[in-house]
Amino acid sequence: MFNARKIALLTLLVLALAVPHVWALGSSAPPPQSELKSEDSTHDLWVYRQSLALGIPEEELSALATRCQEEGFTTGEVRRVLALIAKAKLAGLPHGDLLAKLREGLAKGAPPETIQAALSDKAKTLRRAKGLADTLIMDGWGTKDLDLAVKVMADALDYGVSAQELLGIVRGDINQPEGMPDVSGLFKLIVIDK
């Protein structure tokens, strides 16, 4: 069930949590400053868990969390933003768009609440696009790259096309408006020969 790495990590976690308690029992002197950073160790553990959920190297996610804090995010805001991205990934959404939007907001120096609102809006659009893609698949349409299809359909929804119009465009019932992201060829009707 558990592989050796998970057992080793759990053992290290138990030891890390036990050291401050053993220190406090064995000495009346306060523990050194490095032992008092329980919030930091909890944060590091949380970042590690999120990196596992997202499939992003821990160093990269930790650097992103640090960048958020440098831009004025509180620990709670960093957690909410990264949790939103992790939930999107776990829901089967292409989370790379959300990471890109987070990096873009940080590069522009946008305030945390603006970035969080933009990420939330993008996650909602990706969910709608994924729902439409699932509808097409249930109706007998197939796609070679579901993540790409969801991304392009989300861009089309952001363009201002309604869900019903988008389904009609993909099916070929409605002409695609000029300037809209190209959804042609994302899905093909699967024909089963009898």
pLDDT band, residue 43 (cuts 50/70/90): low
Residue 124's Cβ-side half-sphere holds a number of Cα atoms within 13 Å equal to 7
- 3-class SS of residue 111: coil
- For the stretch 132-153, pLDDT in tens is 999 999 999 999 999 999 999 9
| Per-residue confidence (pLDDT) for residue 50, from 0 to 100 | 75
pLDDT band, residue 49 (cuts 50/70/90): confident
Nearest to 49 by CA among 14, 99, 15, 10: 10
User: Over 60: is that where the pLDDT of 19 sits?
Assistant: no
Backbone angles phi, psi at 173, to 5 degrees: -80, -25
Average pLDDT, the chain: 81
pTM beyond 0.85: the answer is no
| Per-residue confidence (pLDDT) for residue 73, from 0 to 100 | 94
Domain boundaries along the sequence of the chain: 37-189
User: Over 50: is that where the pLDDT of 184 sits?
Assistant: yes
